Structure 1
Amino acid sequence: MTVSASRRVVVALCAATVGMCASTLQQTLLATATPTIIGELGHRDAYAWVSGIYLLASTLVLPWAGVVTDRVGARPMYLAGMGVFGLATVGVCLSHSMGMLLVFRLVQGVGAGLLVPAALAVVGLLDDDRARGHAFGLMGLAQVLANVVGPLWGGWATEFIGWRWGMAATVPFVVAGWALASMSMPTAAQPAGWWRVRHGDMALRSAGSSLAGILAMAFLLGGVMVSVVTFLPWALQAVHHLDASAIGRRLLPMLLASAVGSVLGGTLASHRRAVTGCWLLLLAACAVAAPGNVTALTLGAAGVGLGCGAALPALLTRTQTAASAGQVAGASSLVQLARHAGAALFLPILGLWPAHTLAPVASAGLLISLSAAAVGGLVISWRTS
């Protein structure tokens, strides 16, 4: 690789990271602003859909966008995604009814679903697994930091300058990502029928049976991580009666540990048993949380953040290594799809514990369920390594 080509890849990676951060920031700052938005625009019954419709749209677009990205190159898909996302963000900021807001949130989700496979495909330009692991780790670190900054900025902006201006703060990220991608990301000649995706295009046979194990582990990781983020605040409130500010402080170690894990996982991604070590760490975290007191739950959640943060770069690196050169974006997008599917399935199933049992029993049941998921991931990892 020439020096100029190396610089283009670095710029392309920066563009990819900016795009992923813009998507993450929009979600996390909106979470803080949603109660105010509902109070202003009405329709309390639409509370869950403010975030849910975005996640649904981005998830449904991912498989198609991944296959098409492999055909036309990262640049066209990334620019299209960032363009759609940016215009929809402006629409969200200008919304004066809940219906208008939800429509633009849907379009935002489509834009995010387009740009994510393109951003992941850029990592495939790197020469070896170690470099890819470092790139995924740093990209994950940036997203975790966005997860921390988003709620803080969203809360401050909603209180002092208004939620519309708070959400508009992501527009400069869109402009910067667009500019960086225009000068660096690769493109390809568009084949006839480039937009058509058939079932056979999604098979990714070149990845072989190893992809099935990777997707199964991504499914479990997505379920475990979102369950801890969702049900830890519930346990701290229902079992230990902490207030909102105290719960926020108890969540911070998990987010910071996830950032550390992302860098660590990227560094160790090329090691054969890296993912196995992550599952062992998740099991240990469940054991630490077993006493059920506030300190144990906080430390256990931090262990989960560390393990999940480290596992994702390793899984994405293994995916791109297993897939052929023409299927990198498609395979990577399937990993993201599996994570989303795990989150979508785990929440309603594990939600049966707090819905139908006493809080202390439900807390123990949730911990046992997460331990079982970690054991399943450990078995799959050992068999596929």
Structure 2
Amino acid sequence: MSKASQASKAQQPAPPRAGVAAAMSALILAVLLAALDQTIVSTALPRIAEDLNGFDDIAWVSAAYLLASTAVTPLWGKLGDMFGRKRLYLASTSIFLIASVACGLAQSLPELIGARVLQGVGGGGMIVLTFALVGDIVAPGERGRYQGMFGSVYGVASIVGPLLGGVFTDQLSWRWAFLVNLPIGAVALAVAARSLPAASRRSRARIDYLGSLVLAAIATGLVLVTSFGQRWGWTSPAITGLIAGTVALAVLLVPVERRAAAPVLPPAMFTSRTVVFSSLIGFVANAAMFAVLVYLPTYLQIVHGVSATLSGVFMLPLVAGLVVSQSLAGRWAARTALLRRILLGGLLANLAGLLLLSTIGAGTSTLVLSGYFLITGVGIGMVPMVVMTTVQNSVGPADLGAASAVVTFARSIGAAFGVAIFGTLLNTGFADRTRGLPVAGGFDAARPDTIGHLPAALQGTALDAFAHATAAGYLWMAPALVAGTALALFLEPARPQRPAPAGNVRTTGTGATGAMAGTAADGTVKAA
């Protein structure tokens, strides 16, 4: 058999245009559900704590999902490479829906937290496998356009989630924040089962259990540190012990993966400049993005006195900028030569948005805020899609899942760090600026929501302090984007890798369905 015919057999036939549309619709619904469940419970937490009598441990409801989804991301990506992404995607979606039922029916806080862990396991798989499936379904030159759609959905969900959580909690029950997943998820599951391409072969390599365990432990340590660092104390024995243990595990991971037959993170990815730089850029960009998406609504509600629903309306310019820039960047990204320019443009726009937000105060008008939000949204929208497309273009088809998982993992950790670091900066800055205020009336500088307990004459001072603390937090976040921009200057996007001939693809030994053989001079990962 000729090499050309072997290559033809090795490639998965592209589904017809109607099949692509159906598959993308299912994947978009799945990303929407998985992204919403990271934020939808935030406004429902007080009511959940009241109903389930668990105020002391209520933070675990959010942390459990983030921890589980981050920890399993690399494993889902690698298993998809080994055993076919469609069957793993269907399995992760089914786990997510079953866990959603368990969350909605939970009768105690420990039950809810356990169900959220299971839900995070499914949600993590849904997100990383969705990004990898795009590489299977569409041609390399079209990946950017479709990745842009998912990035827009993710950004919109980050803002819409808290609003939906508040509506369900006030009008129905907090349980509907979880049960609403069932009808939407069932449709997505049915469409995906019919439209996603099936894997053509199955790996006989052993699963990297040790590497998966070490990586999950690293993710657990990082999420616990970022989620509870401020609550437990950044210098407390628990946090310092977690940091030391996480660093030790990170050092251990490299030799563990080098010895694995089918490593969950192929060692070549550690030395690929494209993968490493893109992951670091994704980390800092997501840190800045979530600092904006999580805390700007808080600023609007506290300083401008708007409701949770109206704060979402005020954020619409940011959403508009995000969606439009994602769409345009996705179309431009079909030309590989433009990827770095798009990335630099997005990072610079994001940096400009942060610098503008660092000037806000208690008296900043909504019109001025809308302009700032629009610029910030444009920057936020252009970066994630380009990062994912750049990494996927640098690896062979057999490693799309693992490469997508690396970027998704870095972005998830970046989001957790961004929220934690900005929260610390905000609370510390607010406490410093209100240290001289009287505590009569129950005012607590560590809880800005108690501003209303202050005498009327002092509330203006406290609101101004909160606004300036928010602005200062964004100024302190700006250097991270400067560092990301510097990394982007040295990033050389590669032309998309093509499927290797069947005779060169190995399903045992060192790889899943195509081992990583080395790197090119520019750090681009090459498939064997």
Q: When the two structures are superposed, what TM-score results if normalisation uses the length of structure 1?
A: 0.90
User: For 2:403, which of 299, 315, 331 is the aligned residue?
Assistant: 331
Please state if 1:250 is matched with 2:300. no
Please state if 1:79 is matched with 2:90. yes
Aligned to 2:489: 382
CA offsets, 1:243-273, max 9 Å, x none? 4445444333323322223222322224231
Is the 8 Å Cα contact of residues 26 and 170 (structure 1) preserved in structure 2? no
User: For 1:56, which of 45, 52, 67 is the aligned residue?
Assistant: 67
Amino acid in structure 2 at the alignment position of 1:367: Y
Please state if 1:191 is matched with 2:193. no
Q: 1:284 to 1:7 in 2, by over 3 A?
A: same
Which deviates further from its counterpart, 255-264 or 70-79?
A: 255-264
User: For 1:354, which of 426, 441, 451 is the aligned residue?
Assistant: 426
Q: 1:172 to 1:288 in 2, by over 3 A?
A: same
Q: 1:153 to 1:230 in 2, by over 3 A?
A: closer
Is the 8 Å Cα contact of residues 129 and 269 (structure 1) preserved in structure 2? no
**How big is the shift at 1:297?**
4.7
Q: 1:351 to 1:159 in 2, by over 3 A?
A: closer
Is the 8 Å Cα contact of residues 79 and 182 (structure 1) preserved in structure 2? yes
User: For 2:359, which of 265, 288, 291 is the aligned residue?
Assistant: 291
Q: Distance in 1 between matches of 2:283 and 2:108?
A: 36
Q: 1:72 to 1:86 in 2, by over 3 A?
A: same
Q: Distance in 2 between matches of 1:208 and 1:94?
A: 46
Q: Distance in 2 between matches of 1:324 and 1:193?
A: 18
SS of 1:190's equivalent? coil
**How big is the shift at 1:4?**
4.9
Aligned to 1:215: 279
**How big is the shift at 1:283?**
2.3
> How many percent identity over aligned positions?
28
User: For 2:326, which of 262, 271, 277 is the aligned residue?
Assistant: 262
Larger Rg: 2
Is the 8 Å Cα contact of residues 54 and 109 (structure 1) preserved in structure 2? yes
User: For 2:175, which of 161, 164, 185 is the aligned residue?
Assistant: 164
Q: Distance in 2 between matches of 1:338 and 1:3?
A: 30
CA offsets, 1:87-112, max 9 Å, x none? 10111111111111111011000011
**How big is the shift at 1:168?**
1.3
CA offsets, 1:287-326, max 9 Å, x none? 4334323345553343222211221111111111011211
Q: Distance in 1 between matches of 2:58 and 2:374?
A: 29
**How big is the shift at 1:181?**
2.0
Which deviates further from its counterpart, 45-54 or 356-365?
A: 356-365
SS of 2:190's equivalent? helix
Q: How many residues are paired up?
A: 384
**How big is the shift at 1:6?**
4.3
Q: 1:362 to 1:3 in 2, by over 3 A?
A: closer
Q: Distance in 2 between matches of 1:367 and 1:205?
A: 36
CA offsets, 1:180-203, max 9 Å, x none? 222232224332355335424213
**How big is the shift at 1:355?**
3.1
Please state if 1:15 is matched with 2:26. yes
Larger helix percent: 1
Aligned to 2:385: 313
SS of 2:57's equivalent? helix
Q: Distance in 2 between matches of 1:151 and 1:235?
A: 14
Q: 1:166 to 1:260 in 2, by over 3 A?
A: same
Amino acid in structure 2 at the alignment position of 1:379: A
Q: Distance in 1 between matches of 2:172 and 2:473?
A: 40
Q: Distance in 2 between matches of 1:162 and 1:213?
A: 44
Aligned to 1:363: 470
Please state if 1:101 is matched with 2:112. yes
**How big is the shift at 1:5?**
4.3
Instruction: Tell me: higher relative CO, structure 1 or 2? Use CA pairs within 8 A at least 6 residues apart.
Output: 1
CA offsets, 1:6-39, max 9 Å, x none? 4433332222212111212333332232222122
What are the residue-to-residue correspondences of 1:97-246 with 2, within 5 Å?
97-185=108-196, 186-196=198-208, 198=211, 199-200=257-258, 201=263, 202-203=265-266, 205=268, 208-236=272-300, 240=303, 242-245=305-308
Q: 1:249 to 1:13 in 2, by over 3 A?
A: closer
CA offsets, 1:116-148, max 9 Å, x none? 222111110245444111111122233344445
Is the 8 Å Cα contact of residues 80 and 88 (structure 2) preserved in structure 1? yes
Q: 1:261 to 1:194 in 2, by over 3 A?
A: farther
Q: Distance in 2 between matches of 1:16 and 1:329?
A: 15
